[in-house]
Amino acid sequence: MDKNSNHDHCANPSEERKSHHSNDVKKNLVTRLNRIEGQIRGIKGMIEKDTYCDDVITQIASTQSALNSVAKILLEGHLKSCIVDRINAGDSEAVDEVLITIEKLMKK
């Protein structure tokens, strides 16, 4: 596989592990994270202004949902690229890694 292809998302095990998202995916993720950052600042402001608890909790739930969306996008890309590539290369430990990652996400 060409080292510069879009599907070369995972580093060789002896190299530093990195993902290589397309510019469109990065832009989408950064936009979402910037929005989430604003939501967090808004929640902080609500607390400082003694906003009614239920309203704050609703905003927290919205922020958690937005973070889950970011995680879903990342997980989907990871499964479709890194994990598939590693399994095709005979690395069965890739499945265990994904299961641990999913377990971490589900604890939230």
- What are the pLDDT digits (tens) for 58-99? 999 999 999 999 999 999 999 999 999 999 999 999 999 999
Q: Please give the mean pLDDT across all residues of the chain.
A: 87
CATH of 23-106, one of 1.20.58.1000, 2.60.40.10, 3.20.20.70, 1.10.3720.10: 1.20.58.1000
Write down the pLDDT at residue 18. 77
The overall pTM is greater than 0.85 = no
Mean pLDDT, rounded, for 33-48: 98
For the chain, the domains span 23-106
Burial bucket for residue 94 (CB in 10 Å: 0-12, 13-18, 19+): buried
Q: Band the pLDDT of 10: cuts 50, 70, 90.
A: low
Write down the pLDDT at residue 103. 94
Contact 40, 63 (CB under 8 A): yes
